[in-house]
Chain A
Amino acid sequence: MFDGYTSSELMSIFAMQGFAGLSLFSVFVLMAMGLAIIFGQMGVINMAHGEFMILGAYTTYLTSGFFQSYLPSLFGGYFFVAMILAFLICAALGALVEWLMIRRLYHRPLDTLLATWGLSLIMQQAYRSIFGAREVGVELPEWMMGAFQVTDLVELPINGLFVMIIALSIAVGVYLLMYRSGYGKKVRAVVQNRPMAEAVGINSAGIDRATFALGCGIAGIAGAAFTMIGSTGPSSGQAYIVDTFLVVVFGGAQSLIGTIVSAFGISQAQSTMEFFLSGSMAKVLTLLVVVGILMLRPEGLMALKVRR
C-alpha cells in the first residue's frame, strides 16, 4: 500500500494523519478514562458509559443555550460551567444507578453488562423523546475558533487542541487521584482485598459508589468536551462503546498508562491506515489487529504483574 510514494511524502503523510488522529485519540482517552476506573478497578462492565457521555453533551448543549439567551456577555466562558455541571449531573446519576442496580450485581460482571445495556437503551430512548432524533451541536465561543498553522500541510484547529488538553489533564487528574490521594489508596485497597480493607475500617460500599460515580462523572466531562469537536445525537454513545472497551482491555484493564498508550496506538493506526485504505477497511484492520494481539496477550499490553 506504500507503492508510489517517496519516503519524504510518506513522512509528511504520517505526520498529517498523525495530527488528524489526535482528535480521535482525545475522544478515546476521555471515554476510556471513565471506563478504566469502573471496569479496571471495580470489574463492572458499564455498557451505558456512552450514554452518560451523551448526557454530558446534552448538559453542555442546554448550558450553552442558557448562556446565549440570558448571559450573552459571559458566553466565552460557558464551557467551563457546562463541564462542571456535566460532571455533577452524571456523577449524581451514576451514584443513583450504583445504588439501584450495580451494587446488587458485584461478582456477576456479565450480568452488569446486560443490566447496563438495558439502562443504555432506556437512556437513549429518553434522549430521543426529549431532544429529538436529530443531532445537536453547540455554538463555539469565539476564542475557540481558528487554527494554528504548524507546517504547510498540517494545521491544528484550536478546538481540537483544547479537547486534547482536557483529555490529558483528566488523565493526569485521574492518575493523581488514584495513585497520590487517600481516596485512591482506599479504592486500590478495596480492589485488592475487600475483606481486609473492610477490616481496617474502609467503607467499601461507599468507595464502590464513589468510584462508579466518579467514572460516570468523567464520562460527563468527556461528553462536554465532545461537543467542542462534533455534534451529538441519541445514539452517538453506542457508536464508540465497543472501541472504547477494546482500548481499555487492550491497554490492560488496571493500568491507566496502558489505557493511554493503547488509545494512542489504536487511534494512530486507524488514522494512518485511513489514508491508504477506505475508512471502513482501516477500522476492520485495526480491530482485527487489536483482537489478534489480545489473543496473544489476554491481559493486555501493560498488565500488572500480580502474584497469583
Chain B
Amino acid sequence: MKSSSPLKWFSSREGLYYLALAALLVVILPLALDPFRLNMVGKYLTYAFVAIGLVMCWGKAGILSLGQGVFFGLGGYCMAMFLKLEASTPEATAIQSTPGIPDFMDWNQLTELPWFWEPFHSFSFTLLAVIGVPMLLAFIIGLAMFTRRVGGVYFAIITQAIAAILTILIIGQQGYTGGVNGITDLQTLMGWDIRSDAAKTTLYFICVGMLFLCLFVARLVQNRKLGRILVAMNAQENRVRFSGYDVAAFKIFVFCLAAAFAGIGGALFTLIVGFMSPSFIGIVASIEMVIFCALGGRLSILGAVYGALLVNAAKSGFSESFPELWPFAMGALFIGVVLAFPNGLAGLYQSYVMPLEERLFKRKSKAEAQPVSEPEPTAEARKPAVEAKEAHDYDPMLDHYSPEKS
C-alpha cells in the first residue's frame, strides 16, 4: 500500500485511523480532562510504547517476551538516576553525612557515588542510555537465544526469569538502587520543575509526540520487506531460513526494537509519574503489559495504543471503586481475549465494523478494501496451518524448532 503523496496517504483509510488517534490524544483528551486525569492518561500512554514493541515482537514475529518490564524498567531507571542526581545537589542534601549523593545511598552508609551512577550527571548520556541500555541487554539476550534457536515457550520462560533476576537484584542492592522503594523524590529536569501542572501537561504532549514517532517507526518496519519477513518467519520459520535469510538476525533486530520502545516508555513514565520502583517492572507487571497488546490486537500497532489506554483506564476505574473486583476482571480479560478473540479489539473491528464501513462507503475500491496495514490471518485462515501441524508428529520438545502458532 504505497501512497504517492502524503496528502493522499492522510485521506486513505490507514491515514484516517492515525488522524483519529491524533485527534483523540492531542485535542479531545486535553480538552476534556483536568491536568490530573491528563497526567494519568500520559502514564497509560507510556505503557502503549511497550505494547507497540510487543506487537512487533510477539504479534508479527511470534517472539513472546514476558520480560518487557525489564526494558521498561531500565529506561525508567536511567532517567530516574539522572533526575535523582539533579535533585541531590550538595546544598539540597546538606543534612546528610555525605552531602551530594542520593538520600537512599546515605541511609545505606555509602560514602561515594557508585561508578555506574557517574555518567548519569550528563543529560545527553542519559538520553542515549534510555534507549541504549535496554537495546544492549536485548541484543545480548537475543544473540544468545536466537542464534541457538531458542524460541517460543522456552524464550518466554527465560525472559520471565530475567525479569525475576532484575527485580531481585534491584530490591537486594538497596544502596545502589533504592531497593523496594525505588528512586523517589524526583523534582527537576534540567532545572525545570516536573511536578507543576504546566510541566505535566507539557510532558503529556511530549509523550504523545514520542508515541507517534514510535508508531511511525513501527509502521515503517511493518510495511517494508523487513516486516513481511518477520510475518513470514512467524508462519514458516524454516522456509524463511532455507530461502537464505538469517532468521536470528531478524529476530534480534525486532527484539531490540521492542526493547528500545519499552525503554523510551519507561523514561517517560519516570518523568510523568515522578518516581520509579521495582513494582512497575517485575514479572506481574511484565505479563500485564502483554495483555495491553493482546487486548488491543496483537497484530495492530494502533490497537496496542488503544489496548494500553483501555486496560489501564479500566484498572484505575475499578480499583478506585471496587478494588476486590479488579483481579477477577483482569483474569477474565486474559482468558476472554485468548479464547474468544485472539486478535483483540483490532480483530473485532476488522471483522465486524469494517464490513459495515464497506457498505456505507461503497466508493472504496477493492484494493482499498483489503486490510491496509495487517495481512492478518483470521481464525479461518489459520485453521489449515494448525491442521498441517497436527499431521506432523506433535512434540512439544520440538516446538522451538518449528514455527510457533500463537
User: Is the beta-carbon distance between A107 and B148 smaller than 8 angstroms?
Assistant: no
Extra A-B contacts (17), CB below 8 Å, given A114-B287, A278-B172: A41-B396, A42-B396, A101-B335, A101-B339, A105-B338, A125-B324, A125-B328, A195-B390, A253-B396, A254-B396, A254-B397, A288-B165, A290-B161, A294-B158, A296-B148, A299-B397, A308-B401
B168 interfacial contact with A, CB 8 Å: yes
Q: Which residues of B contact A40 (CB under 8 A)?
A: 396
B232 interfacial contact with A, CB 8 Å: no
Interface residues as binary, A71-107 with B (CB distance below 8 Å gives 1, 0 otherwise): 0000000000000000000000000000001001101
User: Is the beta-carbon distance between B156 and A111 smaller than 8 angstroms?
Assistant: no
Q: Which residues of A contact B150 (CB under 8 A)?
A: 294-295, 298
Quick one: which of B162, B338, B342, B397 contacts A291, CB cutoff 8 A?
Answer: B162
Interface residues as binary, B367-406 with A (CB distance below 8 Å gives 1, 0 otherwise): 0000000000000000000100111011111111100111
Give the CA-CA distance A134 to B347 in the complex, in Å. Answer: 42
Give the CA-CA distance A43 to B171 in the complex, in Å. Answer: 33
A-B contact pairs, 11 of them (CB 8 A): A111-B342, A115-B334, A121-B327, A121-B330, A122-B327, A122-B332, A193-B393, A246-B157, A246-B161, A249-B154, A295-B158
User: Is the beta-carbon distance between B335 and A242 smaller than 8 angstroms?
Assistant: no
User: Is the beta-carbon distance between A118 and B161 smaller than 8 angstroms?
Assistant: no
| Known A107-B405, A242-B283; contact A295-B148, beta-carbon cutoff 8 A | yes
A33 interfacial contact with B, CB 8 Å: no
Task: List A residues 197-237 near B (Cβ within 8 Å).
Answer: none
Q: Which residues of A contact B339 (CB under 8 A)?
A: 101, 104-105, 115
Give the CA-CA distance A306 to B334 in the complex, in Å. Answer: 35
B290 interfacial contact with A, CB 8 Å: yes
| Known A107-B389, A242-B160, A291-B161; contact A280-B338, beta-carbon cutoff 8 A | no
Give the CA-CA distance A296 to B332 in the complex, in Å. Answer: 38
Q: Which residues of B contact A124 (CB under 8 A)?
A: 327
Shortest beta-carbon distance from B302 to chain A in Å: 21
A194 interfacial contact with B, CB 8 Å: yes
Residue positions of A touching B, CB distance < 8 A? 39-43, 45, 101, 104-105, 107-111, 113-115, 117-126, 128-129, 191-195, 238, 242-243, 245-246, 249, 253-254, 278-281, 283-284, 287-288, 290-291, 294-296, 298-299, 303-304, 306, 308
Q: Which residues of A contact B337 (CB under 8 A)?
A: 114
User: Is the beta-carbon distance between A291 and B335 smaller than 8 angstroms?
Assistant: no
Determine which residue in B337, B339, B397, B399 has the highest number of CB atoms from chain A within 10 A of its CB, and name it: B397
Q: Which residues of B contact A122 (CB under 8 A)?
A: 327-328, 331-332, 335
Q: Which residues of A contact B164 (CB under 8 A)?
A: 242-243, 287
User: Is the beta-carbon distance between A121 and B331 smaller than 8 angstroms?
Assistant: yes
Instruction: Give how many B residues have a beta carbon under 8 Å from the other chain's beta carbons.
Output: 59
Residue positions of B touching A, CB distance < 8 A? 58, 64, 66, 144-145, 148-150, 152-154, 156-158, 160-162, 164-165, 168-169, 171-172, 283-284, 287, 290-291, 294, 324, 327-328, 330-339, 342, 386, 389-391, 393-401, 404-406
Give the CA-CA distance A104 to B336 in the complex, in Å. Answer: 12
Give the CA-CA distance A133 to B307 in the complex, in Å. Answer: 30
Shortest beta-carbon distance from B221 to chain A in Å: 22
User: Is the beta-carbon distance between B391 and A303 smaller than 8 angstroms?
Assistant: no
Smallest CB-CB separation from A235: which chain B residue?
B284
Q: Which residues of B contact A290 (CB under 8 A)?
A: 161
User: Is the beta-carbon distance between A118 and B330 smaller than 8 angstroms?
Assistant: yes
Q: Which 5 A-B pairs have the closest CB atoms?
A: A118-B334, A43-B396, A280-B172, A122-B331, A121-B331
User: Is the beta-carbon distance between A287 and B165 smaller than 8 angstroms?
Assistant: yes
Give the CA-CA distance A108 to B145 in the complex, in Å. Answer: 21
Quick one: which of A238, A284, A304 contacts B165, CB cutoff 8 A?
Answer: A284
User: Is the beta-carbon distance between B390 and A304 smaller than 8 angstroms?
Assistant: no
Shortest beta-carbon distance from B70 to chain A in Å: 12
